Structure 1
Amino acid sequence: MREFSLPALYEVPADGNLTDLIRRNAAQYPDLPVMARKDPRDPARWQDLSATAFLTEVEAAAAGLIAAGVEPGDRVALMSRTRYEWTLLDFAIWCAGGVTVPVYETSSPEQVAWILGDSGAVGIVVESAAHAEAVAGLRERLPELRDVWTIDEDAVAGLVRAGEEAGISAETVAERSAVAKADSPATIVYTSGTTGRPKGCVLTHRAFFAECGNVVERLKPLFRPGEGSVLLFLPTAHVFARMVQIAAVMAPIRLGLVPDVKTLTDDLASFQPTIVLGVPRVFEKVFNSARAKAEGDGKGRIFDKAAATAIAYSEALDSPGGPSLKLRLKHKLFDRLVFGKLRTVLGGRATHAISGGAALGTRLGHFYRGIGFTVLEGYGLTESCAATAFNPWDRQKVGTVGQPLPGTVVRIADDGEVMLHGEHLFSGYWNNEAATDEVLSQGWFHTGDVGTLDEDGYLTITGRKKEILVTAGGKNVAPAVIEDRIRAHALVAECMVVGDGRPYVAALITLDEEFLPRWAEENGKAGLSRTDLLADPELTAAVQQAVDDGNAAVSRAESVRRFRVLPSQFTEESGHITPSLKLKRNVVAKDFAQEIESLYA
């Protein structure tokens, strides 16, 4: 058994709640821009809101919720894409004394019914008329649900009017804001549910204070008031984006929110954040798109040399002598030809990014640091209020998920399981004492992940206990290691390793829908039908190269011997991935049982 901890850098308030942050900001930084929303007349322009203006808008919306009958401790659901109104209403719910229940806007009616019913939500704010219609079809199953507000139909303005008409005063809102204490629930975040029904993780105001306060202090150069800014495009229903939202308010730094990654390049260019928040797939896409563009412009070899130089340069930074003179000169040349342009694509001002949700991979970690855009990889779960470990800005170890959050403890049990202790942990699963007792014991949370700690306390995650495969030959295989390497190839969207109880390891692979047409065009196969393309020997060879790259990271016994390319990507709509992009392995295994059997025929 091994454990590591760092002293807390932030003193969690003995009491109080997250609404104290926006009141403090208005008092200490009244004119500082803390929020930014897109100008509806010009998507390339942003409208800033000062700390005072944001507090005013939050309190006005909170008055409407109080007028609607929201009482202290009542659960109010939020079902919307990432947008300014999400953050506004999150804080408004807290100011009304309520508890926010996030719901992914892509959730099925069955999922929505379960979350609203299990949480006992008395109201829900949805984004669109389609969402409202879906909720309307569930009303008979939700006796506690009273109100449905729709953002696209002026929900915020409606709440403000309701508060004014009911005569809810600023004093009343202030009194209600103070009802919740540090150990009161702030939110119930339902897990993505890779197996079974989602469980509601109860996260208190104290947990967010401990989490965000120590993140901001440890990454202080990135969270300087008046200097820093972050653009959120990940779902705010996910705890990772939610944590960064609150950390931005806590710092405070300027926060912008956009619905998705479809317009990400334009949004980064117009907002110009100093910090970028993403998941590995986003950083893979940026790399692959840049390489594909270079190939299309006849500069593929230059890009590949530049990428190799960036990786070598980053690796040399960790060596005693640092980069050689020759390497520094090559790096300087490619900085002018390639790296500077890539940083411009990422907004031009950002020097750091925070990555979570899955493994980034050593190759990408070194590539980005080598171009002057350091991606700080972290690790956490919904139950740990997002990050429980992350790489510090000044002592990054590429390939690890960093050191424990200050003020917490990471322990590696005798069987390799990662265990956590600290104020940032959830208080339990809502209405599910049995599930809580399974993972919480004497203040320690059993994550179900397997990992190692090095002598400096840097954590490396090697897999999930439940996902460890044992081949017929008795070899233990952690799928994540090889899956991450295979998925790094531009052609590959997803990879799922199989082989439990089988004679060897195999894999199911899906292809990237955006990159596949580009590959076909570059290889003179643009006229082929999708069916013919998937059966093309050259495409199979390209996927085999991705598999070979993955196999290079593991032993022979752990390597993928055979693979099957599936006809379409895994999607949330198909039921094969969660909203946070995690594979539902049991669903994939069930739906593609025949394909798996064919790998062992």
Structure 2
Amino acid sequence: MDVRTVPDLLRHSLEVHKKPDAFLVKREGRWAPVSIDSFANQVRARAADLTRRGVVRGDRVAIFSENRIDWAVADQAVLSIGAVCVPIYATLPADHVGPLLADSGAVGAFVSSEAQRAKVESVRSQAPGLKWVVSFDVDGAPPGSPAATAATPPGPDDLATIIYTSGTTGVPKGVMLTHGNLVSNALASLTALDLGPTDVHLSFLPLNHIFERTAGYNVMVYAGATIAYAESIEKAASNLMEVRPTLLLAVPRFYEKLIDRIMEVAKAAGFPRDVMALWGRNVAQKWAALKLDGRPIPPGIALQHALANVLVYPVLRRRLGGRIRYGFSGGAALPREIGLFFYGVGLPVMEGYGLTETSPVIAVNTAKHYKLGTVGRPIPGVEVRIAEDGEILVRGPSVMKGYWNRPEETATALEDGWFHTGDIGEIDADGFLRITDRKKDLIVTSGGKKIAPQPIQNALKKSPRILEAIVVGDGRKYATALIVAANGATHEAIEADVDSVNKTLASYETIKRFELIPNDLTVENGSLSQKLEVKRRVISDRYRDLIEKMYHGEE
């Protein structure tokens, strides 16, 4: 069948795969299968209920929930009647949710629980168009039969979703993605990946993030893979051993935490496990570096690697369920030592690159075409070129329609059909894309969270005790800050100011640590531009040791 819209992906799975275990959901302590037929019936029932509520083509409907099968059902139902899904991070505080509901003009909202409903209700005055709120936990499945609705199905050019992403100013921008954007990216990604009906995926990255929505849902549904919904991000590690997935989609921080946890457990166990774990990690990284560089592997390293593959690496594989063939990493840069480790233990992590505006996949490493330190080759149908200033430009069917209600910013981002990513990169002789820098100031943590530093810095500088603040944390677990204090300001007073600002931020934006630096930021020493703006890179280089101190023992 011709697959051109997101509902077509589901219809394809119904006709081709007919899986009795298309989804797995943990209920009363056991993983229960949900067939693709049952899922489709739930979608039809939810779509009929949306129609009864007066939702029509083009209406925006928000989903404010953690990952669960109800999320996927609601999303499919909204899209099936030509309405537009507006996903919202489940961890956002109420004062962050209100502006998104208002800007999108959402007519209704699905929430996971009464706690989430309370957040929405507390800011309802900001969203006058909001007519209803449905809680998955309390309201349950809609009543009535899953009869097909009379709604005209959407077309590939119709808007499917508005996903809010932080701009460098901190004001969220709604990225408009069409059905054609989402489907073209899913199908193109699948041609580059080895996925099929025998694969099992554990979904724990937020579905409101385009990485999980495309790679963890759209791709999996079309390929006929089974999707198991983790109980929570906190229980993902234990769920891995229960579900025993064959694929792993995660952000770099998740892979880092896996290694950290293994080393912690080994250290707690004492000799000889602690020594063996450290030895095994070092051997994996040495062996992988030689292998990937195409250099000969000395007999001593080869022998040690063979021994570690018997004595040490099976422990890691068991922690992941024992069936993982390879992992995928996106959302932030994968540290080289992490990539080397997993390659060395026989679980290569395929790093990719993409943005919400590109649906998201632009390039990805594959089992056949793999080069550590790059984000792979562009997927079929996606063109990538490097501008004169080094910026990565992208063109193709998965590039967004534009920013919701922001024509000027859309025109700036899209020039002659090319999307300006804001990232600096290069393409090597083999066609692999390498990200070398970020043109924007936006911070991306190792967990893939985006933090706009400017609003946080401005909030900190409202205190008379803080003359300057530089938020750092790109590629790190969390945000920290370098602060220039006013004369006479104590460390304790500054700490109180930081705590006060933290209370207004989302959890991933909060400043976990800070250090005071001298008040010597001048144009003459290169710390400030001619416009008296702080040069972040100069300051970061100058105080590199101090920054490392704030992360020492935590990374």
Q: Name the counterpart of 2:10.
A: 22
Q: Name the amino acid aligned to 2:204.
A: F
1:435 and 1:366 map into 2 onto residues whose CA distance is 39
| Residue 115 of structure 1, aligned match among 100, 106, 113 | 100
Q: Name the counterpart of 2:211.
A: 240
1:286 and 1:70 map into 2 onto residues whose CA distance is 44
Q: Name the amino acid aligned to 2:23.
A: M
Per-residue CA shift, 1:490-516, capped at 9, x if unaligned? Answer: xxxx9x9xxxxxxxxx99689x999xx
8 Å Cα contact 1:314-1:366 kept in structure 2:
yes
8 Å Cα contact 2:67-2:229 kept in structure 1:
yes
Q: Name the amino acid aligned to 1:280.
A: P
Q: Name the counterpart of 1:369.
A: 343
User: Is 2:203 the counterpart of 1:229?
Assistant: no
Per-residue CA shift, 1:2-53, capped at 9, x if unaligned? Answer: xxxxxxxxxx95x7421112122222222442111112x11xx211122212
User: Is 2:58 the counterpart of 1:73?
Assistant: yes
Q: Name the counterpart of 2:49.
A: 64
Q: Name the counterpart of 1:547.
A: none
Q: Name the counterpart of 1:386.
A: 360
Q: Name the counterpart of 1:528.
A: none
8 Å Cα contact 1:25-1:52 kept in structure 2:
no
User: Is 2:38 the counterpart of 1:53?
Assistant: yes
Listed as ranges, the matches of 1:287-302 within 5 Å are 287-298=259-270, 299-302=273-276
Structure-2 change in CA distance of 1:83 and 1:567 (3 Å): farther
8 Å Cα contact 1:76-1:99 kept in structure 2:
yes
| Residue 131 of structure 1, aligned match among 103, 110, 116 | 116
8 Å Cα contact 1:16-1:180 kept in structure 2:
no
Q: Name the counterpart of 2:431.
A: 457
8 Å Cα contact 1:508-1:596 kept in structure 2:
no
Q: Name the amino acid aligned to 2:282.
A: A
2:219 and 2:412 map into 1 onto residues whose CA distance is 30
TM-score normalized with structure 2 length = 0.80
Q: Name the counterpart of 1:33.
A: 21
1:202 and 1:361 map into 2 onto residues whose CA distance is 31
3-state DSSP of counterpart to 2:95: helix
1:577 and 1:385 map into 2 onto residues whose CA distance is 27
How much does 1:413 deviate?
1.0
How many residue pairs match? The answer is 483
1:145 and 1:595 map into 2 onto residues whose CA distance is 47
| Residue 102 of structure 1, aligned match among 83, 87, 95 | 87
Listed as ranges, the matches of 1:203-214 within 5 Å are 203-214=177-188
2:37 and 2:306 map into 1 onto residues whose CA distance is 45
Q: Name the counterpart of 1:306.
A: 280
3-state DSSP of counterpart to 2:431: coil
How much does 1:322 deviate?
5.1
8 Å Cα contact 1:192-1:578 kept in structure 2:
no
User: Is 2:192 the counterpart of 1:218?
Assistant: yes
Q: Name the amino acid aligned to 1:230.
A: H
8 Å Cα contact 2:81-2:154 kept in structure 1:
no
How much does 1:594 deviate?
5.2
Structure-2 change in CA distance of 1:312 and 1:135 (3 Å): same
Per-residue CA shift, 1:310-341, capped at 9, x if unaligned? Answer: 11222232244654444332112111211111
8 Å Cα contact 1:194-1:578 kept in structure 2:
no
Q: Name the amino acid aligned to 1:286.
A: L
Q: CA RMSD in A?
A: 3.2
8 Å Cα contact 2:93-2:506 kept in structure 1:
no
| Residue 228 of structure 2, aligned match among 252, 256, 259 | 256
User: Is 2:400 the counterpart of 1:426?
Assistant: yes
2:371 and 2:386 map into 1 onto residues whose CA distance is 19
3-state DSSP of counterpart to 1:341: helix
- Identical aligned residues as a percent: 34
TM-score normalized with structure 1 length = 0.74
Gaps of 5+ in 1: 1-11, 469-478, 488-493, 497-505, 515-563
Listed as ranges, the matches of 1:458-497 within 5 Å are 458-467=432-441
Gaps of 5+ in 2: 454-469, 479-490, 521-541, 547-555
1:104 and 1:192 map into 2 onto residues whose CA distance is 12
1:271 and 1:328 map into 2 onto residues whose CA distance is 33
Q: Name the amino acid aligned to 1:50.
A: S
| Residue 333 of structure 2, aligned match among 359, 364, 368 | 359
3-state DSSP of counterpart to 1:397: coil
How much does 1:54 deviate?
1.4
